[in-house]
Every structure is written in structure tokens, then in C-alpha cells.
Structure 1
Amino acid sequence: MVLLQRIRPCQSIQPGRLIFWAASRKLNPRMIAEPGLRIAALHSSPLQLLARPRSRSSLWAYGTGLLLVLSAALAGGSVLNSEQAHPIPLREDPVTHARIPESLRLPSRDPQQSFRLLGLGSRHVTFLQIPVYVIGVYIDSVTEHAISTWKAFDAEAFLKHNVALDHLVKGKGQIAIRIEPTRATNGPHLRNGVERFLKLQLAQDQASLTETELQEIKAAMTELRANFPPGVVKAGQSFVFRKTTENTLEMEFEGELMVVMKSKWVAETFIAAYLRADPPISEKTRVSVADGLQKAQSGAL
């Protein structure tokens, strides 16, 4: 079923597994309906039309967009690029069956900057191994090219001993971690998890850090705490944490830039935490990333 809702570009909605969205600047039959319209495909919900066309031209584009969305939903699901309305392939997490995009464009900075999915997996908690969120690890073209120049890559050494992790995380390119909860949670709960592993690593690294670096880390973690979404985070909503070329860590929530943490240590440590072996946040993500690194090293990603 399809739910249509008029919202602001950065406002969030409950999307279910598949999201089809449009943010066209002009009414255009090649685009999807009206500007600022997001269309979410839900698993089980009666058809609801919450966005009403206000003119004949709007009605024409509205109807055209609805037909395109219904066709895409019946075809098996993909995400529509907001600029070109072209389907973006999705990859399914084998455990949660959540489907995440094969590529990312992050609208808060350069909309032309594309990231490719390197690997994915899910984070589980408690002895029952309940999945709490799906993780996607993405790299830009600079990082992908750097990996292709590696003389060799040993997946087993990467998984057991973090070999090549520094080359990946401390390179000149950008890496992004996308996190999508599989069930409703809240911002403080997710934030506390991020702060916990940063503080644990800081306790190990503190003796080797300068006073300036420590002040930068303190300021970055204060910024993170102050700007993390405070309310409910619904299943299917997403965070993206990006290590930039300036060695800062950006956090976006549902396409809105929330904070820029100006600490190289925080940026590198956050990305490395999802990839290192001791202890792993998600072993399945690491295994998938190791496979992606092998493909990228051979130019087959």
C-alpha cells in the first residue's frame, strides 16, 4: 500500500521498508508528483492520500507520480533518486530482511557526491540476539580508488587482526556509516551507545593524545550530546555518520545535518569502531565489509 504525505524536505515520516520520495523543483511528469512530496511504501496500511493537489497542473503531475510509484512498488522495491526519479537498487540484510540503498547521496552537503555500499549487517543485543538496527558502510570514489591500488588484501587478517583498517579509515577519502533502527527507539538511547564506545576507546588512547586533541574530543562529544535527536526514532528512519575529507564527523538524521564534530580522533574512531575486531559491534557487518574490500581491491565492487 502507499501513503502520501506533504512534508518539509527534512521532516521525517514512518517509511516501512521501502521509500519512494520526490523533491522536484518544478512540476514535471518525469519527476514524482509535487515539490516536497515524499511517498512511502508501507507493508500493511489502507491507501491514504494525505497530499491534495490544488490545481489542474498539480492534479496531472500528482496522478502521474502516483502511477509511477505504484509501478515501482509492484516491481519489487527501489528508492527513487530525488533529482532524476531513477530507481536506486537496494540490498537486503539477510538477518532482518531490511533493504538499504546500494548508493547514497547526502543532501546536506554536495548532492552530487555519491557513496557506494561496501558492506552491511545488523547490530544485535542481549543473549536473545534481537536485532536493533541495520548498518551500512559506504565509501566515496576516492576511497574506492585507493583500495584498488592496494597490492593485496587478506580478508582473514582484516577480520582477525584489523590488518588494513588504518589504511581504510585514515585515508584521504570519505566513509559513511548508515544506521537504520529495526524497531522504535529513542535518540538518547542511541546517543548513549555512541558515547559509550567513544569513551572506552578514549580511555585507551588518552596517554598518546595531546592536550589540544583532548580539548577537540571533549568539544566534539559535547556537540554530539547537544544535537542528537531527543525524541522517538522510528523503525526505518536513518542516521548517516560521515568522516569527511576535513577529518570531521558529520551526523545527519533523515537528510538533515544535525552536527559537525571537529575532531580527527572522533571521526576516525567512530568509523573504526564498526569495523574493528575487538570487540565487534556487528561481526556480520565486518564480514560483509571484508567481502566488499576484496571486490573493491580487484575493481569489482
Structure 2
Amino acid sequence: MFQFAAFRTFRSSCRGFSVSATRCRSYGQSSHALRSSLRPFLWGSAIAASAVTALQSAIHLDAEVPEPVNEIADPATSISFPKTLRIPSKTPLPTFTLVGVGVRTVSFLGIKVYSVGFYADLDNPKLNIPKTASPDEKIEHIVRNSACVFRIIPTRSTSYGHLRDGFMRAIQARLLLCKQRGQLTPDEENGVQSPLRKFKSMFPNIPLAKHTPLDILVTAPDQSQPRNLIVRDLGSVQNDWLAREFVLAYFEGDGISPPLVERVTDNDE
């Protein structure tokens, strides 16, 4: 652009002269002057082009720096779970930390039904996990004293009804086990029947698509009211025993998902 403007000015200045040797000499002298006057601009353009090239190289290198990993994949299914989880709610909820992941399998064929991630409010200042406790005791302490979440992600298309039936079997087994251990009073057993029926009724008889997350939340203990067992987008039920034992059923013995139990235990700090 600078070359074209200077040349146009030069042509205008030459039109007032006659065609003669003087014009040619003037042209030659002016051409030399023009080249001299443009030299700084040409050098500046070259420097600017080099700077742009260098900047582009720097940006290209920066773009190749790997992003920090913020997810953990279930090795059995390759389904990923975020390391931290925030659930939208009208009532403020804490940020949940991923404690472990695992796969749920059924039948002797080992069919993979869903991957599950277990989250807890580990930043709760009231949690105070005993450092000398065993891994099992620490898990129970977390479940009894903080809000928890299971994120369930089907490995294949399933249905809410299928998941509901599995949950109900686990809860019924938990009822029987607590009775055998003397950990369930007759009043508690009677009091949980209505919440159980409500919980069962919350699941619609419709499909649940492959890789669609289903979040099940247990609220933190509250002296003013029973804990809530919430199935996201489906409903909630209030009962301390049901909320607590639903979570603990996943960690009794081998649990509903043995790999989940193993990884949560290994994550003991």
C-alpha cells in the first residue's frame, strides 16, 4: 500500500515536465529516492511478518498443551464421571466429590447393566471422618453424616422399571439383614412401609436411553426433618432409614457393585 501511494505521487510530479533527458534523470533520481524512502517501510513489513509468524507458532504450540483430566472413566465400560458434581436445585446443594466408580453386572453371563459413581460432600466441615477408622467404618460414617449421590449411567438401553425392581430387591434384603442384626425396631419397620411404596411408585414404566445419567441423592441429616431420598426429575421420599440404608446397601459385603466397593475402599485417605 505504501509503494502504490508513493508511486502515484511521483507520477503526478512528473506530468509538469517535458519529455527530455532532464525528465529521465529526474525519474532515475526520484526512483532512487523512492527506494530509499520505502526501505524503512519494507524492513518494517518484513519484521512485522516475522513477528506474526512467530506468534502463530507460539499459539500453535500452546494449543497442543493437554488439558487437565477432570473425569474418571469406569475401566469396565469406559463411561466417564466428572470428579466433582453440582446438581441444579431450588435448594442450594453442595459440590459433591467423586469417591469411586464401578459397574453393575447381572446373571452368570456378567451382563453389564450400568456404571455407577458414588459422590459425597467431603468438604462438609461437620463430617470429621475418624482417621483411625477402617475403610468400611469411614464409608458408613460418610453415609450417616453427609449428603451423598449415586450417578447411574446405563451401558445399554433399559427402563426405569428394571432399575426400580433392582433397587427394591436391594432394600428388601437390607430390611431383612437389619432385622436379623437387631438394628431395626418394629416401629421403624412399620414406619418405612409407606415411604417404600412411594419410592416404588416414582419410577415410570418408560425406557431409559443408553448413557442417560440418573442421579439419586440422599440429603444430609437434619434434626428438624427426616432425610430425603431424591430421584432426580422423578420425585422424593422422606425417611431416615430408607435414605441411609439405600446407600449402605451398595457397600454391604461385595455390594450391588463389587468394583465400586473396591475402588471406594482403595480411595481411603
Per the normalisation by structure 2, the TM-score is 0.66
How many angstroms apart in 2 are the aligned matches of 1:204 and 1:291?
Answer: 26
Amino acid at match of 2:172: K
CA offsets 1:123-150 (integer angstroms, 9 cap, x no match): 1112222211011010114558735x42
Query: CA distance change for structure 1 residues 286 and 191 in 2, over 3 Å: closer, same or farther?
Result: same
Aligned with residue 130 of structure 1, among 95, 111, 115? 111
SS of 2:210 mapped into structure 1: coil
Q: SS in structure 1 opposite 2:85?
A: strand
Q: Equivalent of 1:169, from 114, 124, 143?
A: 143
Specify the alignment match of 1:3 in structure 2.
Answer: none
* C-alpha distance in 2 between matches for 1:210 and 1:280: 24
User: Structure 2 CA distance, aligned partners of 1:153 and 1:166?
Assistant: 10
Q: Is the CA contact 1:105–1:111 (under 8 Å) kept in the aligned structure 2?
A: no
**1:26-65 pair list within 5 angstroms:** none
- Percent identity of the aligned residues? 27
SS in 1 for 2:76: coil
Aligned position for 1:263: 239
Q: Which amino acid aligns with 2:242?
A: V
SS of equivalent residue, structure 2 residue 215: strand
Distance 2:263 2:159 in 1: 27
- The corresponding residue for 1:280 is 255
1:174-253 alignment runs, 5 A limit: 174-206=147-179, 208-245=183-220, 246=222, 247-253=226-232
How many Å apart are 1:168 and its aligned residue? 2.4
Aligned twin of 2:95: 114
Letter in 1 for 2:132: A
1:153-209 deviations in Å (ceiling 9; x for gaps): 54xxx3xxx4434322212x2111111111111111110100001111212324653
**Corresponding residue for 2:132?**
152
Deviations 1:227-255 (A, max 9, x none): 113200111112222221245243334xx
Q: Contact 2:130–2:138 (CA<8 Å) still a contact in 1?
A: no
3-state SS of 1:164 partner? helix
Q: Which structure is higher in helix share?
A: 2
Mapped partners of 2:69, 2:84: distance in 1 = 7
Query: Which structure shows the higher strand fraction?
Result: 1
Q: Considering only CA atoms, is the larger Rg found in Structure 1 or Structure 2?
A: 2
Residue 198 of structure 2 aligns to a residue whose secondary structure is: helix
209 and 287 in structure 1: CA distance in 2 versus 1, 3 angstrom threshold: closer
**Residue equivalent to 1:97:** 78
Deviation at 1:93, TM superposition (A): 0.7
Q: CA, structure 1 residues 108+289, in 2 after alignment: closer, same or farther (shift >3 Å)? A: same
Shift of 1:210: 3.7
In structure 2, the residue corresponding to 1:274 is in which secondary structure? helix
Listed as ranges, the gaps of 5+ residues in structure 2 are: 1-63
Q: 1:90 to 1:177 in 2, by over 3 A?
A: same
In the alignment, residue 214 of structure 2 is paired with which amino acid? F
The one-letter amino acid paired with 1:274 is: Y
Contact 1:213 1:263 in 2 (8 A): no
State the Cα RMSD in Å: 2.8
- Structure 1 moving runs of 4+ over 6 Å: none
| TM-score computed with the length of structure 1 as normaliser | 0.59
